Amino acid sequence: MSTSSNTSSRDAILGRIRKSLGRGAGEAAPVSVTERLSSPKANPVVPKRAQLAHPKQVELFEEMAKSVNATVAMVVSDNDIPREVARFLADHNLPARIKTSPDSAVSGLPWSDTALEVSTGIAGPEDAVSVTPSFGGVAETGSLMLRSGAGTPYTLNMLPDTHIVVLKASDIVGTYEEVWARLREKEGHGNMPRTFLWVTGPSRTGDIEQTIQLGAHGPRRLHIVLVDDTKENK
């Protein structure tokens, strides 16, 4: 299939750009361009607030996430996650029915320890609560990093009223740059999932008289279950 609907516009636009920049067609990209693309580097200026030892980064993540109306609960092992999810739902009078990502990191948890009704797959209109894993967390703004994939359908992040995200403490880093480095390491340079989403607090809007309301089109509640796995790792 043709990927550019109109080659003459393409040529005309590129021609005008080159003319404006004072160079001819077919000039090779300078090293400053090719190197930037082939080996992206962390930015020279990044917030100092996130340049901390890892335990402090975890604390900062928690603080920042809470400051944008997310709730955070810490558990010490994966096996504790289902009970925390059940507690959270009960405390908020939410339905005891969840949809999890197919990814075994969440679907494979001991849900039978709880009375929750659990199913797996993409989100539909009937799903009020989702539980998803995360690729990581960024301390500087308390942002969750979520990627789409066969085990992590995207709609679970957006459609249900309540979104519960499982985050391993060892996956928390200081800055966004560190996330991209990890993603490249895992996926190979240039390989992006269809969607990579940063979530910083629940959905919100200020479009009616600039009054901030949570839960515009996405989730009203964002609950982060933080798994303290750092001791095992060491």
Partner 1 sequence: MNVSTSPKFKENVHGALRDESLQRALGRLKSGFQEKRSAAAAKMPEFEALRDQARDIKNHTLENLDHYLLKFEENVKANGGHVHWCADAAEAREVVAKICRDKNAKSVLKGKSMISEEIGLNDFLEKQDLKVVETDLGEYIIQLRHEPPSHIIAPAIHVHKEQVADSFRETHTGRDPNRSLVEPRELLDEAREVMREHFFAADIGITGANFLIAETGTSVIVTNEGNGDLTQTLSRVHIAIASLEKVVPTLEDASSILRVLARSATGQEMSSYTTFSTGPKRDGDLDGPEEYHVILLDNGRSNMLGTEFQDMLRCIRCAACMNHCPVYGAVGGHAYGWVYPGPMGSVLSPSLIGVDEAGHLPNASTFCGKCEEVCPMRIPLPKMMRHWREREFEKHLSPSSFRYGIKTWAFFASKPKLYRAVTGIASKVLGKMSGGKGKIAKLPLAGGWTDMRDLPAPEGKTFKELWAEKQKQQGGSK
204 makes contact with partner 1 (CB under 8 A): yes
18 makes contact with partner 1 (CB under 8 A): yes
Per-residue interface string for the shown chain with partner 1, residues 143-162, x marking contact by CB under 8 A: x----xxx--xxx-xxx---
- Min dist CB 64 to partner 1, Å, is 7
What φ, ψ does residue 224 adopt, rounded to 5°?
-110, 120
Which 87-146 positions form the footprint of partner 1 (CB under 8 A)? 102, 121-122, 125, 141, 143
DSSP structural state of residue 152: B
Between 53 and 150, whose beta carbon lies closer to partner 1?
150
Q: Please select the residue that binds partner 1; options are 132, 135, 202, 226, rule is CB under 8 A.
A: 202
12 makes contact with partner 1 (CB under 8 A): yes
Contact predicate 148/154, CB 8 Å: yes
- Min dist CB 232 to partner 1, Å, is 30
Rounded Cα distance, 199 and 197, in Å? 6
Q: Which segment (73-81, 85-93, 129-137, 217-225) binds partner 1 by CB under 8 A?
A: 217-225
Rounded Cα distance, 216 and 203, in Å? 6
52 makes contact with partner 1 (CB under 8 A): no
- Min dist CB 108 to partner 1, Å, is 17
Rounded Cα distance, 175 and 153, in Å? 25
Instruction: Output the DSSP codes for 63-75.
Output: HHHHHTT-EEEEE
196 makes contact with partner 1 (CB under 8 A): yes
How many CA atoms does the CB half-sphere of 124 hold within 13 Å? 4
Look up residue 215 and give its amino acid.
Answer: G
Q: Please select the residue that binds partner 1; options are 199, 224, 226, 227, rule is CB under 8 A.
A: 199
**Number of residues forming the site for partner 1 (CB under 8 A):** 83
197 makes contact with partner 1 (CB under 8 A): yes
34 by DSSP, 3-state: which?
Answer: helix
Contact predicate 148/55, CB 8 Å: no
